[in-house]
Structure 1
């Protein structure tokens, strides 16, 4: 199975974290269904041009979160994610991204009102680009 993970080698973010974040998002959003067999660690590492240790860490971290399960001799599968769990994972992912954005804003001396104004401008722009995709 091909998994659409995009790696940015010039990013300061560690490789395992880039992969883990994107794979978590694909699972939580339902783009990779429950029960889907993921590529072997070796196969996935080869397709991403990274080390086996990196992919092993990603699989272990997501398994400890309950998003993956490994059956010895069979492979690694996407675990069942309940609606409540899915909503919590989504909320945490968005919250972490927003907290990070606020920290960056503060580090360059953006004030609270400037951040709020910029956020609303970006939010409106993004939803206008995808007109009709706004669920509310």
Structure 2
């Protein structure tokens, strides 16, 4: 099977995950959700100039794995969260994210996740950072 990196998946066009923040991970029946603060690249339709003193424009949103059949989650062996400057929980970044067939593989300080699902989408909230 061919390995497809996240930046080759259309819903991640102009999102830079390596410096985006994972705020929470929620496993529900038939759905897996990553609550995020995304770094949007200049070409993204929602991009705005970064706040003074910041390198990136951040936009809150979610990665949603739809009609999930199997979720395997190996947690990290150390406490993997901290709080950010806004006193919100920060689970770190997504260090690796790719797809093989209908299985998505993700890795970060929070552990390793593989999710077999029908589809994936990115949504945004009105709130920006």
Is the structural similarity TM-score above 0.5?
A: no
What TM-score, normalized to structure 1? 0.23
When Rg is computed on C-alpha atoms for both structures, the one with the higher figure is 1
The structure carrying a bigger helix percent of its residues is 1
Question: Please, what TM-score do these two structures have when normalized by structure 2?
Answer: 0.24
